[in-house]
Each structure stands twice: as structure tokens, then as C-alpha cells.
Structure 1
Amino acid sequence: MKITIVMKGCQFSMEVGPQEPILEIKRKIQQFLGIPIDSQTLTVCDWELVDGLDLADYPLISEGTKMHLSTPQSPPPEFPQTTTMKITVKFSSRKIEIDVDKTDTVRSLKEKIHIVDATPIKRMTLFFRGSEMGDDFRSLSEYGMEESSEVVVFLKNMNRAMADPPSRRLAVVVQTASSLMNAARIPVEMNDTSRVEELRRLLVERRIVPVDEYIFIHKQRIMREDCSLRWHGVENGDYLYVFKGTVSRGGF
């Protein structure tokens, strides 16, 4: 039967047996989300599920049951919905607003500006509170950025051919959940500038997954459909995990 695992900011479906041990369900969650078994608490209707029992020991669990997953950290780091913020990016003659995460790096911010405004990344020099944000690998929180902060963009003059590195071809492995294709591993090749939504369309067109809503996870973090594989830091040989479900910025 199929049940739904629910966390704050995320939910996905999972195929389980009617007598499957609770511990086995936690093992599957650890495999796909990277959350250690001993850090997981599963509840149904506010009743905590005990590791030593099976689903058959809980008559209230049936097809379509929603099983809530919580961890000692709430929300867990891989679903940082409480750290998102809106900032203003100021150019010499215009301003734009961008949604970012405090854990985003300066490089990630430049990628987002490029996606929204088409400004070449290599032309950007970013300033915050009068100081240059010169380290692409530092996070926005390390620079003290907060909600409604303003980042100023100065543009360097350079040859257009040098503005941004060319796209690279990536070979990745898409790992599907057991509820989709019995935990199949599918090799896929795409450009690193391809967006996650393009990857989803490719899987549907090749009939690897049926038409539906999906969550993609890379290195224990949910991927954003409107951002590129390069933006997510995907490299050759990386695994991308796919679950059926949707991402919500609010609770369930």
C-alpha cells in the first residue's frame, strides 16, 4: 500500500507492505534523505510509532495514511524554509528583488541575479554595506545579510565571449523511490546549465516516471525547479534522488 511521509516543507509518497516493520520504513527514509534512523520520530494521529512493531500493529494505518516525520532539529537543515529572505539587488539604473537563503553563497547569489536579470556572472562585483563581497564561497549569513538587505552590483567591462563559462555535459544518476520504479537507477546526461524542471520533463518524456509532481534531492537538499544543475553544484557522477510529491513553503 502507499503512505505519505510528511515533513515541514516537504511530503512524498512511499510504497510499504501491510506488515512492514517501522524500523524498515525509517531505513528507507535514511537511504533517500540521509536522516539517521535514531534521529527520526514517526507519528500517526499524534501516536508515535515504535521501532519494534510492524504496520500491522497499528490498525489506523491504511492506504493513503499520512505519517509525520520529525527530527531533533526542526526544521532539518536540508529543508531551510525559515532561512529564506527577500533582498534588493541594485544596479546603476534599476533595482530588482530576489528571494535567497541565508545559506546561499555569494556565487549562488550571482547565479540567481544571472537567472533573473541575464547579467553575465563574470561582469558582477557585489558590494554590501560598502564592502566588496569578494569571496564566492562565503555564505550570505557570514556577511550579515538579513531580510530586505540591499546588495549593490557594479559591472566590469569585458569581452562578451569571456562573460560566463560555457556549459558542460554532465553524466548523473537519477535514483527513483520504490513507489515509482522499485528504486531504479537511471543514468542521464544533461548540460549543467539545464534547469531541474527540464530534467523532470526529460524523465517524463522518456517514460521513466509518469506525469506527476516530483521532488528532486541532491546531497540531502531539495532542488529548486527553476535553477540549473550548475547552480545546485551538481557534478559528474552525482546522484539525484526523486520522490513523488510537492514542496510547500508553509506547514502541513
Structure 2
Amino acid sequence: MKITIVMKGCEFSMDVATQEPILEIKNKIQHFLGIPVDSQTLTVCDWELIDGLDLDDYPLISDGTKMHLSTNHTPPPVSPSTKMKITVKFSSRKFQIDVDNTDTVRSLKEKIHIVDGTPIRRMTLCINAAEMEDDFRSLSEYGVQESSEIVVFLKAMSRVMADPPSRRVSVVVQTSSSLMNAARIPVEMNDTSRVDELRQLLLERRMLPADEYIFIHKQRIMRDDCSLRWHGVENGDFLYVFKGTVSRGGY
């Protein structure tokens, strides 16, 4: 039968046996999302499912049942989304900008570029005198909050290097058992290709049935409109795909 695992911000379906142990379901979740079994709590109608029992020990569970997954794993697979306004300060000017705490340093640079026109590759961002070095870390990981001030330093033109050209990356798309028996699909694309282009490629080649999908890389839901490079995807990485949609406004 098929059940639906519901997390904060998304949900995906999973095929299970009627007598499948609760612990085995948690093992599958750990395999696909990287969340340790001992960090998972599964509930149905506010009743916690116990590791030592099987699905048929719970008469309320049937085909189509939704199980809610909560976790104390850090970092969580999906960070809560919070809109906030911060101040961006240059040496001679400053302005406010709306961001999401799940935005990355790179996406903040992109927003500054849209508002101000400053080339992204010239920017060095700092908060509380500390440089925000990793473009793929979220703003929340740097402690950015409502009304935080981000200082922008500009690199000298002689030090600015062009963005590296696109390159081919080979990845493995791992599907869940509810899609096609946990298949592993090798895919090669440019690292500048967007996630929605990857989805379209898999659909056109009939490697996935027509439906809505969530892609996950290193326990983070991938944004459709951002590139593989933006997500930090490297050669040999696994991208996990589940049937479902992101249910909140942001990623």
C-alpha cells in the first residue's frame, strides 16, 4: 500500500507492506533523507508510532494514510521560512532589502545586484565584522535576523576573476520505491542547468512518470529556478527525488 510522509514544507509518498515494521520505514527515510532513525518521530492522528510495532498493529493506518515526520536532527532537512528586512551598507550608501532566512549568501548577492547593479563577483559580504565566505550557506547560519546590517566591500577590478565556465557534471538521481522501485538514474548535465531543466529532461526521456517532484541534495530541498552549481552539486553526487510538492511559499 502507499502512505504519505508529511514534513515541514513538503510531503512525499512511499510504498510499504501492510505488516512493515515502523523501524523499517524509519530506515527508508534515513536512506533517502539522511535523517538518523533515532532523530525521527512518526505520528498518525497525534499518536506516536513505536519502533517495536508493525503497521498492522495500528488499525487506523491504511492505503493513503498520512504520517507526520518530526525530527530533532540538526540541521533539519527543511529550515522554517521567515521573511525579514535587512540593511545593506556600502561605503557611501545603504538601503534596505527583503530576504528570507533560508536564502543563501549567493542569492543575497544576486538580490543586491538586481537592486544596485553591483557585479556579484566584486562583492564581499560581512556581518558583525566577519566575512560571509561560503556562498552556499544560508543567511540563518550566519545569524542574519530582522534589521541585521550587511556590509558590502568591493574587490578591486584587478582581483576580480570571471565566473568559471559551465562544466559537465555526472550525478545519480535516486528515486524512491514509490516511483520506480528505487532506481538509480545516471545523468550528465551542465552545472549551470537549473533544477527544473533536470526535471524536464527526466520527464522527456520517460525516466519519471508525469507528476510533481521534489529534488533533494545533501538534505536540502532544491529550488527549481536555481542551477546545479548554485546548489553546490559536484561530480558523483546523489540527487534524491520524491513525488510531492513544496507546500509553503518559499524554499
1:110 deviates by 3.0
Q: 1:198 maps to what in 2?
A: 197
Q: For the structure 1 residues 13 and 24, does the alpha-carbon distance in structure 2 shift closer, same or farther, using more than 3 Å as the test?
A: same
Aligned pair partner of 2:133 in 124, 132, 135: 135
Mapped pair 1:63 → 2:63: yes
1:202 deviates by 1.0
1:128 deviates by 5.6
Matches within 5 A, 1:108-119: 109-110=108-109
Q: Is contact 1:120–1:164 with CA below 8 Å preserved after alignment?
A: no
Q: Is contact 1:81–1:249 with CA below 8 Å preserved after alignment?
A: no
Matched to 1:24, the amino acid is: E
**SS at the partner of 1:188?**
strand
Q: 2:123 maps to what in 1?
A: 124
Q: For the structure 1 residues 68 and 117, does the alpha-carbon distance in structure 2 shift closer, same or farther, using more than 3 Å as the test?
A: farther
Mapped pair 1:72 → 2:72: yes
Q: Is contact 1:100–1:109 with CA below 8 Å preserved after alignment?
A: no
- The 2-side partners of 1:199 and 1:116 are apart by 29
Matched to 1:44, the amino acid is: V
1:115 deviates by 8.4
Q: 1:32 maps to what in 2?
A: 32
Matches within 5 A, 1:149-188: 149=148, 151=150, 158=157, 162-188=161-187
Q: 2:17 maps to what in 1?
A: 17
Q: For the structure 1 residues 134 and 67, does the alpha-carbon distance in structure 2 shift closer, same or farther, using more than 3 Å as the test?
A: closer
- The 2-side partners of 1:76 and 1:141 are apart by 11
Q: Is contact 2:172–2:186 with CA below 8 Å preserved after alignment?
A: yes
Deviations 1:209-247, CA, capped at 9 Å, x for gaps: 112111111111111111111111110000000001111
1:69 deviates by 1.1
Q: Is contact 1:196–1:224 with CA below 8 Å preserved after alignment?
A: yes
Q: Is contact 1:120–1:163 with CA below 8 Å preserved after alignment?
A: no
1:126 deviates by 3.9
Deviations 1:143-188, CA, capped at 9 Å, x for gaps: 65323545465766759x9532211111000000000010000010
Deviations 1:70-93, CA, capped at 9 Å, x for gaps: 1235x9622111466454667899
Q: 1:6 maps to what in 2?
A: 6
* Gaps in structure 1 of 5+ consecutive residues: none
Identical-pair percentage: 76
- The 1-side partners of 2:226 and 2:115 are apart by 10
* Gaps in structure 2 of 5+ consecutive residues: none
Matched to 2:133, the amino acid is: D
Matched to 2:243, the amino acid is: K
For these two proteins, the number of residue pairs brought into alignment is 246
Q: 1:213 maps to what in 2?
A: 212
**SS at the partner of 2:14?**
strand
Q: 2:47 maps to what in 1?
A: 47
1:32 deviates by 0.6
**SS at the partner of 1:81?**
coil
- The 2-side partners of 1:144 and 1:186 are apart by 38
Q: 1:240 maps to what in 2?
A: 239
1:197 deviates by 1.1
- The 1-side partners of 2:167 and 2:122 are apart by 20
- The 2-side partners of 1:216 and 1:128 are apart by 31
1:23 deviates by 1.2
Matched to 1:135, the amino acid is: E
- The 2-side partners of 1:67 and 1:99 are apart by 32
TM-score normalised by the chain length of structure 2:
0.81
Root-mean-square deviation (CA), in Å? 3.3
